[in-house]
Chain A
């Protein structure tokens, strides 16, 4: 029904485009236009949402192996895609858990700070996720259990336009599915 409505609205748009006539001619009375009268007075901006999407949250707390956010988040330096030594213990702990749950899939989600383009940041976030996947693989985690994905700058951990906020957003999160 919703898509039918949208289809009518868009057809009206297209029919509108096609109905120009030279000024000297009488206006064309186009029978097909009558069916479009249903949209009279409608404002397409409200209530038209084809393909509305219901929220899904796969990341409930006890599905995360009892690990707090801090125990699943690796932070990166500015313009860096290398896992710092101080995160080795965190990586090792997660590696152990993943290896001991061979049926469990794990997403590594890379993020960037908010400066720069969306798509290029997506690629940079991917590099961070790939770096964490690499560090886990070195410790023997099968790659079949791991998927490196990126959110780029779309999902900052904290809001703000200063270096403190940026530092908290340059990260990769290990998420148990």
Chain B
């Protein structure tokens, strides 16, 4: 079924391949679509029956999620009053150019919980693709919407959706810094930490329960591991000098960190339980920004050993350093996709810092952004989107982009300067 749909989309895309498709930005969700050869499923997300009384407009959240993924194009609903039990007149939707319909309802249960139900229809095949219901606390209505989007995404693309995941980021407002945990669209942010001193480099533990980060609260950079559900913090690296750039091993047992305790900025491995760090590699240059590959066997890092900052790779046991980036004189902040296929990083081009993507197997590189102050890329757990920090009209902002760079969205949520995004794992 999915294969059939895909074939149809390929046909659709090849038909419009020669055309320059430029769908106008949808201001409401700040999703920008550009470029040629886009393969997008035209989909109708009908307003959910009963959602007007709910604070979270389920269908709008679902549609925004699907649009942000770059895989879908919205088609307005041609029939009102649909819910998960209606039989939509598919011919009407087919004529409107829709390939799929999501319809559903929102109701409040006697105990105050919200019941979100939906059904997905394949308009082309005239087939019911199933549905679900989520009875959730009213505060979690947005989460239910993200779960709906995950279901639709997986049914229609064959890949797991990553909408019901979390992103950590940092805001700066005056001299106040806050570390937030938000939905994958940047909304519903909850403050995990507030501090009068900078917070940088948050990194989710593989189980999604803890954040490691660098805090300057004691007038020097030290590394904490912070349990987000209890708020309990552990100081795990406070050695003489600077302690920074924490990165989790895939098994969650080890952190790679940058320490200057023995002189210079050097890479060490540290048990997540704390204790004595052991040196990963020794050099007379700057070595920093370590990040494990998903199999845990290698560590990417940044070093200026060749005279300018470049990305290198080393075995997790410290053996076999090899250079990874060769073009440009400033390549930093590597992030490896969870499927191991891609390396996102920031490269200076002229005077601009731009998000780049390397195919790990072939080494071929493309530029993903048209902004000039990009920082801190981080992959969605399904490896289909990258979140990164940049500047838009002089303010710090968070953006997501598809891996072809054609669909970008600005994450809403906190006002003020917003930075240091890190996309968390799938939550079960």
| A interface residues with partner B (beta carbon < 8 Å) | 2-3, 6-7, 9-23, 25, 27-30, 33-34, 36-37, 39-45, 48-53, 55-56, 58-59, 107, 109, 115-120, 122-124, 126-127, 130, 147-152, 154-155, 175
B130 at interface, CB cutoff 8 A: yes
The contact string, 1 if C-beta is below 8 Å from chain A, for chain B 166-180, is 000000000000100
Measured between C-beta atoms, what is the minimum distance from A49 to chain B in Å?
A: 5
Tell me the minimal C-beta distance from A11 to chain B in angstroms. 7
Q: Is the CB of B130 within 8 A of A23?
A: yes
Chain B residues near A12 (CB, 8 Å)? 137, 139-140
From known contacts A6-B231, A45-B189, A119-B333, infer whether A19 and B200 are also in contact, taking CB-CB under 8 Å: no
B258: A residues at CB distance < 8 A: 119, 122-123
What CA separation (Å) do A151 and B258 show in the bound complex?
14
| B46 to A: closest C-beta gap in Å | 16
B115–A27 CB distance below 8 A: yes
B8-16, B154-162, B240-248: which lies at the interface: B240-248
Docked complex Cα distance between A99 and B217 (Å): 28
CA distance A16 to B427 in the complex (A): 11
Name the one of A7, A16, A41, A49 contacting B136, with C-beta atoms under 8 angstroms. A16
Query: Which of A6, A117, A175: most chain B Cβ within 10 A?
Result: A117
Contact of B427 among A14, A21, A42, A48 (CB under 8 A): A14
Q: How far is the CA of A45 from the CA of B194 in the complex (A)?
A: 12
User: Smallest Cβ distance from A103 to chain B, in angstroms?
Assistant: 17
| Min CB–CB distance A118 → chain B (angstroms) | 5
A118, B137: Cβ atoms closer than 8 Å = no
Least CB distance, A50 to chain B, in whole angstroms: 3
Question: B375 at interface (Cβ–Cβ under 8 A)?
Answer: yes
In Å, the complex CA distance between A9 and B190 comes to 9
Chain A nearest CB from B343 CB (Å) reads: 15
List A contacts of B240 (CB < 8 A): 147
Chain B residues lying within 8 Å of A119, measured Cβ to Cβ, are 200-201, 244-245, 258, 288-289, 302, 332-333
In the complex, residue of chain A having the shortest beta-carbon distance to the beta carbon of B351: A115
| B332 pairs with A117, CB closer than 8 A | yes
Partner of A33, one of B135, B144, B193, B289: B135
With contacts A30-B135, A149-B221 taken as known, whether A23 is within 8 angstroms of B196 at the C-beta atoms is no
Closest to A27 in B: B135
Q: How far is the CA of A29 from the CA of B118 in the complex (A)?
A: 18
Provide the residues of chain B in CB contact with A56, threshold 8 Å: 217-219
B194 near A13: Cβ-Cβ < 8 Å: no
Chain A nearest CB from B79 CB (Å) reads: 20
B387 CB to closest chain A CB, in angstroms?
16
The answer, yes or no, to whether B277 is at the interface (CB within 8 Å) is: no
Contact of B139 among A21, A41, A147 (CB under 8 A): A41
Name the distance in Å between A61's Cβ and chain B's nearest Cβ. 16
A-B contact count (CB 8 A): 221
Whether B229 lies near A7 (C-beta < 8 A) is yes
A34–B196 CA distance with the chains assembled, in angstroms = 37
Which residue of chain A is the closest to B138 with respect to CB atoms? A40
Residues of B near A15 (CB, < 8 A) are 136-137
Contact of B84 among A23, A40, A49, A116 (CB under 8 A): A23
B117 neighbours in A (Cβ, 8 Å): 23
Task: Give chain B residues whose Cβ lies under 8 Å from the Cβ of A150.
Answer: 221, 242, 260
User: Which chain B residues lie closer than 8 Å to A49 at the CB level?
Assistant: 178, 191, 193-194
List CB contacts (< 8 Å) of B74-103 with chain A.
84
B330 and A116 within 8 A (CB): yes
- Inter-subunit contact B133/A117 (CB<8 Å): no
A23 and B221 form a contact (CB under 8 A): no
B233 touches A51 (CB 8 A): yes
Question: Contacts A40-B138, A55-B196, A150-B242; is A127 near B190 (CB within 8 Å)?
Answer: no
CB neighbours (8 Å) of B217 from chain A are 53, 56
Contact of A17 among B164, B190, B215 (CB under 8 A): B164
CB neighbours (8 Å) of A51 from chain B are 192-194, 226, 231, 233
Are B193 and A50 neighbours in the complex by a CB distance under 8 Å?
Answer: yes
Cβ contacts under 8 Å, B200 to chain A: 118-119, 122, 152, 154
Q: Which of A17, A53, A126, A127 contacts B196 (CB 8 A)?
A: A53
Q: Can you spell out 28 A-B residue pairs with CB atoms less than 8 angstroms apart?
A: A2-B231, A6-B230, A7-B229, A13-B140, A13-B143, A16-B143, A17-B428, A20-B134, A20-B147, A27-B133, A33-B137, A34-B111, A39-B139, A44-B139, A44-B188, A51-B233, A116-B330, A117-B346, A118-B200, A119-B200, A119-B244, A120-B289, A120-B302, A122-B214, A122-B221, A130-B264, A149-B242, A150-B242
How far, in angstroms, from A43 to B333 measured CA to CA in the complex? Answer: 34
Is B242 in contact with A17, judged by CB distance below 8 angstroms?
A: no
Partner of B137, one of A25, A39, A127, A154: A39
Contact between B346 and A3, CB atoms less than 8 A apart: no
B375 and A118 contact, CB distance less than 8 A: yes
In whole angstroms, how far apart are the Cα atoms of A127 and B286 in the complex? 9
Which residues of chain B are near A175, meaning CB under 8 Å? 219
Q: A23-B119, A45-B190, A119-B288 are in contact. Are A16 and B376 (CB under 8 A)?
A: no
- Cross-chain contact B119 with A50 (CB below 8 angstroms): no
Sample of 13 further A-B pairs with CB below 8 A, known A119-B258, A149-B242: A3-B231, A6-B231, A12-B139, A16-B136, A20-B133, A37-B113, A39-B137, A44-B139, A49-B194, A119-B289, A122-B214, A127-B265, A147-B241
* B216: Cβ under 8 A from any A Cβ: yes
Question: Quick one: given A6-B230, A23-B119, A150-B221, are A117 and B375 in contact (CB under 8 Å)?
Answer: yes
